[in-house]
Structure 1
Amino acid sequence: MTKDNLILTIRDYVFVTLGVVLVAFGIQYFYAPNEIAGGGLSGLALVISHYIPNLSVGTIIFLGNLILFVISFILVGGDFGLKTIYASFALSFVMDFMEKVLHSYALTTNLFLAVILGTMIIASGLALAFALNASTGGTDILAKILNKYSKFNIGISLLCVDLFVVVCGGLTFGFGKGVFSLIAVVINGLLVDKVILIIEKKKEEKSKQIEESEDINTVV
């Protein structure tokens, strides 16, 4: 691995870590304390944790991801698989740290605000991971596979996968919170695509600037 490739790899993992922290923050300070199962393995983990309270959300996510790692390596590729393993382990660790050490709590008990703010934060974190060919694991892996082998963009793929979790959340936490969970899933799917487009546009602009700079140096 060359020095430039090493720097790029480190940069990717730094930004994936930032994405993980954003996702964990949105779940632990907006979704979990308000019982909003906003899709994904994290939402399913909230449902399971409700019935098995001895298992933390982070632990359930960790166990669930083990089942999906092999699938990601086979169907999506090694780079995605490695980054996803890192991100999923990191997500479980950060969520448990926030829950058990920082004693995370609801920053707002207003369900509407919790959905809007939590989803904006989580969608930004997910988009950051997806833009770097990674995911936070769980059902995001299934969404990535659906995205790769179909014409669906990543946001619509997430929406399709998350609908099942929303139904489970509605049956567990009540119809009202199920509706808010559905709103969260829809907003998340739309926002992820928007943020990915912004990130990719920034990356293209930066690449273009680097190419122009190299052309100028070549001429000189």
Structure 2
Amino acid sequence: MKNNNIILTIRDYIIITIGVILVAFGLEYFFVPNQIAGGGLSGLSLVISHYIPMLSIGTIIFLGNLILFVIAFILVGGDFGMKTIYASFALSFIMDFMEKVMHSYALTSNLLLAVLIGTLITASGIGITFALNASTGGTDILAKILNKYSSINLGISLLIVDLFVVVCGALTFGLNKGLYSLLAVIMNGLLVDRVIVQIEKKQKEKANADSKLAA
């Protein structure tokens, strides 16, 4: 029984890592180089990095998450906190690796394409981590708390929390990019819920199949 729990835990962390890589890729190759502050601590970090260029976005995310971890432990629970610590540390490391070692760049300079493709990738990653009771950190933690203590679903919670970041992005990078950032946030909120629903559906189907085999 104990070995089975260890295997399930390792599986969860492997899947979370895949989700984190998707988020980092979407940010570093679509959002960041096009100055799209698509919500969350990552979007806010992009704005802060613009004013304090000696700090990388990965570093700012790391520092911001330190403040929010305590909130996750107290209000959401230890399991969510541990997985979120892992996911956010991994996100900071992978983003720094992509930026400093792989020298990430914009795969497209078309802002609409960057928003559409970048949001599809990042929302998939966020949905995967949320479905496993984790988060990539940052304002996702606040969205999870809002979801836990209200009837608002995760997608709408993300939308509410991210609107502030969009305003900051518009003030920093201009109204045009601010509007694209707003589009990214709206799409992200809708897509995250869809990803979570699909994952939970697959999990239920697998659980039902396992129970039938056990019977």
* TM-score by shorter chain over 0.5: yes
Q: How far apart are 1:3 and its partner, in Å?
A: 0.5
Task: Give the distance between the partners of 2:169 and 2:150, measured in 1 at CA.
Answer: 27
Q: Secondary structure at the match of 1:135?
A: coil
Displacement of 1:85 in angstroms is: 0.3
Identity of aligned residues (%): 73
Shift of 1:114: 0.1
Does residue 94 (structure 1) correspond to residue 94 (structure 2)? The answer is: yes
Whole-angstrom CA distance in 1 between matches of 2:186 and 2:23: 16
- How much does 1:94 deviate? 0.1
Work out the CA distance in 1 between the residues paired with 2:63 and 2:42: 12
Per the alignment, residue 127 of structure 1 pairs with 127
Alignment-mate amino acid for residue 136 of structure 1: T
Whole-Å separation in 1 of the counterparts to 2:79 and 2:7? 16
Give the equivalent residue in structure 2 for 1:173. 173
The alpha-carbon deviation at position 10 of structure 1 amounts to 0.3
Match of 1:54, SS state, is: coil
Q: For residue 129 of structure 1, report the CA deviation from its aligned partner.
A: 0.2
So what's the TM-score if we normalise by structure 1? Answer: 0.97
Is 1:31 the equivalent of 2:31?
yes
1:114 maps to 114
Task: Kindly provide the amino acid, as one letter, of the partner of residue 146 in structure 2.
Answer: L
Distance 2:214 2:184 in 1: 44
Residue 81 of structure 1 and its aligned partner are, at CA, apart by 0.1
Report the counterpart of residue 141 of structure 2 in structure 1: 141
Question: Structure 1 regions of 5+ residues with no counterpart?
Answer: 216-220
Whichever residue aligns with residue 82 of structure 1, its letter is M
Q: How does 1:1-220 map to 2 (within 5 A)?
A: 2-215=2-215
TM-score normalized with structure 2 length:
0.99
Report which of the two structures shows the higher radius of gyration computed on alpha carbons.
1
Give the counterpart letter for 1:211 in structure 2.
S
Alignment deviations for residues 12-61 of structure 1 (CA, whole Å, 9 cap, x no partner) = 00000000000000000000000000000000000000000000000000
Q: Any unmatched runs of 5+ in structure 2?
A: none
State the distance in 1 between where 2:143 and 2:25 align: 22
Distance in 1 between residues matched to 2:157 and 2:170, nearest whole Å = 21
Alignment coverage as a number of residue pairs? 215
CA displacement at 1:170 relative to structure 2: 0.4
Partner Cα distance (1:153, 1:18) in 2: 23
